[in-house]
A and B are shown apart, each in its own frame.
Chain A
Amino acid sequence: MYSIRTKLNVSIISTLIVVLSFTAVFLHTRIKNHVVEVYDSALYDKSQALISLTELDEEGLEFDFAEDGVMTEFLGGDSPEYYQLWENGERLLIKSPSLGESDLPYTGTAEKKHRTADILLPDGRNGRLIEINFMPRVEVDEEDMAGLSELPQPKLITLVLARERVSLNKTLFAIRFTIIAVIITVLMVSTLLIWYLIGRGLIPLSSLAQQVSGIDESSLHARVQNEGGQIEEIAPIQYQLNHLLERLQSAFEREKRFSSNVAHELRTPMSELRTLAEVGQMVPDDPKQISAFFTDVGEISRQMENIVTTLLELTRSEAGLLRSDPEDIELSRFCDGVWMQAVNGMDACKQLVRQIPADLIVSTDREKLGMILKNLFINAVSYSPEQAEIQLSTELQNNQVMLSVKNIASDLKPEDLVYMKDRFWRKDKAKGDQNHSGLGLTLVEALARILQLDVHLSLDNNNVFIVTISGFHVVAN
């Protein structure tokens, strides 16, 4: 695991080091070249001065710069300069007194060309030289010219002029030092600024991480905030996280409700059985009570059997083991038959008001539709007020039939509709009626899915609960 902040810092600072290094090298090279150029230019100017002081007259070559007191820097002293001149590159014409026995190097350059180079001066200092070829100026007076048969012919002269380059080196060193100092300073300030700015920039992300790491199963109601305003990059993460949290919270609550409901639906009959067994052993000589206990045990067993059977059906349906086996069903007559089965054995005196065309035939699985309707009828009868009517009607839409079961459900609230298909959900968990376990609508939904039917629950303003099953294929109408 690595830190984004560290990684960004390292990447940016490394890049900065490389860029600044190249910049420094480039700058140094450019400045050094320029300074050396200026230095060489000064050397060149001086060589031109020497050249202008070299003339050829009727007496031969004259080097005015070599005269006493003209250019004392060539004489010697603390920081002497040097020159040496050759004719045609062969014959030494003159050299500065500062050279003494030493010579300056001669390489030979083309006419009107010059060359500059570094050199180790005779006195051991680093120096810079310029080698330049020139034709001496011919200077003959008119009076003298008359006595000459021909003008003296100038020959190519090579001048090598050398001087120390300590000042140049000092300047270059100062430039180099300044560049390095500036680069290091810029780098240090940039590093600090980058570290700080990246840290500031990553605050929303850190805040997000902090918020997320503070969430556990006990705080699933918490939502991630986009601190520091609506940040474009954080907004989608925040939205998705909150959406995920909502779903997780809902799943946890559903799971909790399920556990609580299972606990109630299964633990209570188990308690009843256990108490009946334990108390029954205490009254072995009371046949009346023992008989009543056995009756209770029978009822509890049937109740638990119903729960287990329904759960098995649900499991089989979820595992895809249940298949639809459609056949043509005369809906009106079929509903009557299921109604009779459903209310058989129930104490309630309720009436089914049926509005289904007698000749309506649909194609679906008879057994599964029977289970669906039986569950709906039992629920409608159980949870509607005494003497209430249960209404059953159909509606034809696009060659598909929509079947509705309606009953008054006074206790039901619109918010209950969300949970009604959950396993073991019951409006009132208190066991006034032990024939219900809260699995009926879950099974209805599962079976309807197999039959490719949609189950929709609604509650109108008069507290009439309506279960609508849509998607029946009409065979004849």
Chain B
Amino acid sequence: MKLLLVEDSVRLQRSLASGLKQQGFTVDQAFDGEEALEFLKVNKYDAIVLDLILPKVDGLTVLARLRANGSDSHVLILSANDQTEDRIRGLDLGADDYMVKPFSFDELVSRLKALNRRRSGVKNPVLEIDGVRIDSVSRIVSFNDLTIALTRHEYELLEFLVRRRGRVFSHDQLIDQLYDASSYVTRNAVEAHISSLRKRLKATGAPSLVKTRRGFGYLVE
């Protein structure tokens, strides 16, 4: 799940980004509204964690411009403003969720995952396909009660494709989804992850799930 974290506090950015990455999110960081808008011009995010009081361009303006541009990314406002009218204004402008600082990191993660489930239209946090069970909460993949050990990127790749069954994704789209903007990754890395994922699935007797459409990319049918 790819996130844009927009927060002007350097310390909060540092700890939040670290924690979210630990939880398997791909995180881009913006420290002011202007920078956030730049990120949004070139990248597509599953969710945006947005502070309201930001230097240069405030959070509500960022949100309004995002929605005006037709973006359907989920937006979770993370703000110190706890007044009801602030929440209403944020939600009315198109935010999907609102959390008041100070907050529980675990709750933030859960809310982001819930937003992701809402996005894919699958409400059950446990995905199942051809006997392969993907628990998106514990991030454990199993087949016939056998746990399949996957790396973070392999898991992200599998969950991403399973949540979007039937859709083909190119190398670039998958790179964009799995890595943050500051990473330099080649298409070979994606191929390596796909290959490794298939092998690990096969090792437990599970179907490989990820199919190749030559010239187009990969999909889970």
Chain A hits for B53, CB < 8 A = 264, 429-430
Q: How many residues of A contact B (CB 8 A)?
A: 31
Chain A hits for B12, CB < 8 A = 268, 271-272, 275
Residues of B near any A CB (own CB < 8 A)? 8-12, 14-16, 18-19, 22, 32, 53-56, 58, 80-83, 100-106
**Docked-complex contact A279 and B11, CB < 8 angstroms:** no
**In the docked arrangement, what's the CA distance between A240 and B179, Å?**
65
Within A272-316, the residues touching B (CB, 8 Å) are 272-276, 278-280, 282-283, 289, 292-293, 296, 299-300
**With A274-B102, A296-B11, A429-B53 in contact, do A279 and B22 touch (Cβ < 8 Å)?**
yes
Chain B hits for A429, CB < 8 A = 53
**Docked-complex contact B8 and A431, CB < 8 angstroms:** yes
Give the shortest distance, in Å, between A473 (CB) and chain B (any CB).
43
Give the shortest distance, in Å, between A263 (CB) and chain B (any CB).
5
Give the shortest distance, in Å, between A465 (CB) and chain B (any CB).
20
**Docked-complex contact A271 and B18, CB < 8 angstroms:** no
Chain B hits for A263, CB < 8 A = 80-82
Give the shortest distance, in Å, between B185 (CB) and chain A (any CB).
23
**With A279-B22, A430-B32 in contact, do A271 and B103 touch (Cβ < 8 Å)?**
yes
**In the docked arrangement, what's the CA distance between A264 and B81, Å?**
7
Q: A279-B15, A292-B14 are in contact. List 4 more A-B contacts (CB 8 A).
A: A267-B102, A271-B80, A275-B15, A275-B105
Instruction: Identify 26 residue pairs between A and B in the complex whose beta-carbon atoms are under 8 Å apart, listed by A's number.
Output: A259-B83, A264-B80, A270-B101, A271-B12, A272-B11, A272-B15, A273-B102, A274-B102, A275-B16, A276-B15, A278-B19, A279-B19, A279-B22, A282-B22, A289-B18, A292-B14, A300-B11, A429-B53, A430-B8, A430-B32, A430-B53, A430-B56, A430-B58, A432-B55, A434-B9, A434-B10
**Docked-complex contact A267 and B8, CB < 8 angstroms:** no
**In the docked arrangement, what's the CA distance between A40 and B53, Å?**
105
Chain A hits for B58, CB < 8 A = 430
Q: How many A-B residue pairs have CB under 8 A?
A: 83
Chain B hits for A142, CB < 8 A = none
A355 at the B interface (CB under 8 A) = no
**Docked-complex contact B55 and A430, CB < 8 angstroms:** yes
Residues of A near any B CB (own CB < 8 A)? 256, 259-260, 263-264, 267-268, 270-276, 278-280, 282-283, 289, 292-293, 296, 299-300, 428-432, 434
**Docked-complex contact A278 and B80, CB < 8 angstroms:** no
**In the docked arrangement, what's the CA distance between A279 and B16, Å?**
7
**Docked-complex contact B18 and A431, CB < 8 angstroms:** no
**In the docked arrangement, what's the CA distance between A263 and B101, Å?**
9
**In the docked arrangement, what's the CA distance between A279 and B19, Å?**
5
**In the docked arrangement, what's the CA distance between A274 and B106, Å?**
11
**With A267-B80, A430-B53 in contact, do A278 and B9 touch (Cβ < 8 Å)?**
no
Closest Cβ neighbor of A429 among chain B residues: B53
**In the docked arrangement, what's the CA distance between A308 and B81, Å?**
20
Give the shortest distance, in Å, between B197 (CB) and chain A (any CB).
25
**With A260-B81, A268-B80, A293-B15 in contact, do A278 and B104 touch (Cβ < 8 Å)?**
yes
**Docked-complex contact B8 and A296, CB < 8 angstroms:** no
**Docked-complex contact B101 and A268, CB < 8 angstroms:** yes
Chain A hits for B81, CB < 8 A = 260, 263-264
Instruction: List 5 A-B pairs, minimum CB-CB distance, nearest first.
Output: A279-B19, A267-B80, A271-B101, A430-B55, A278-B105
**Docked-complex contact B105 and A279, CB < 8 angstroms:** yes
**In the docked arrangement, what's the CA distance between A434 and B7, Å?**
13
**Docked-complex contact A428 and B55, CB < 8 angstroms:** yes
**In the docked arrangement, what's the CA distance between A270 and B101, Å?**
8
Most chain B beta-carbon neighbours within 10 Å: one of A279, A289, A428, A434: A279
Closest Cβ neighbor of B106 among chain A residues: A278
Checking B54, B82, B103 against A430 with a beta-carbon cut-off of 8 angstroms, the contacting residue is: B54
**In the docked arrangement, what's the CA distance between A293 and B80, Å?**
21
Give the shortest distance, in Å, between B162 (CB) and chain A (any CB).
25
Give the shortest distance, in Å, between A307 (CB) and chain B (any CB).
14
Give the shortest distance, in Å, between A254 (CB) and chain B (any CB).
15
**Docked-complex contact A283 and B22, CB < 8 angstroms:** yes
**With A274-B103, A274-B104, A432-B55 in contact, do A279 and B8 touch (Cβ < 8 Å)?**
no
Closest Cβ neighbor of B18 among chain A residues: A279
**In the docked arrangement, what's the CA distance between A208 and B101, Å?**
44
Most chain A beta-carbon neighbours within 10 Å: one of B16, B83, B101: B101
Closest Cβ neighbor of B105 among chain A residues: A278
**In the docked arrangement, what's the CA distance between A333 and B104, Å?**
51
**In the docked arrangement, what's the CA distance between A241 and B105, Å?**
49
**Docked-complex contact B102 and A271, CB < 8 angstroms:** yes
Give the shortest distance, in Å, between A356 (CB) and chain B (any CB).
36
**With A268-B101, A274-B105 in contact, do A431 and B80 touch (Cβ < 8 Å)?**
no
**In the docked arrangement, what's the CA distance between A263 and B54, Å?**
15
**Docked-complex contact A267 and B11, CB < 8 angstroms:** no
**In the docked arrangement, what's the CA distance between A45 and B22, Å?**
133
Chain B hits for A256, CB < 8 A = 83
**In the docked arrangement, what's the CA distance between A428 and B208, Å?**
54
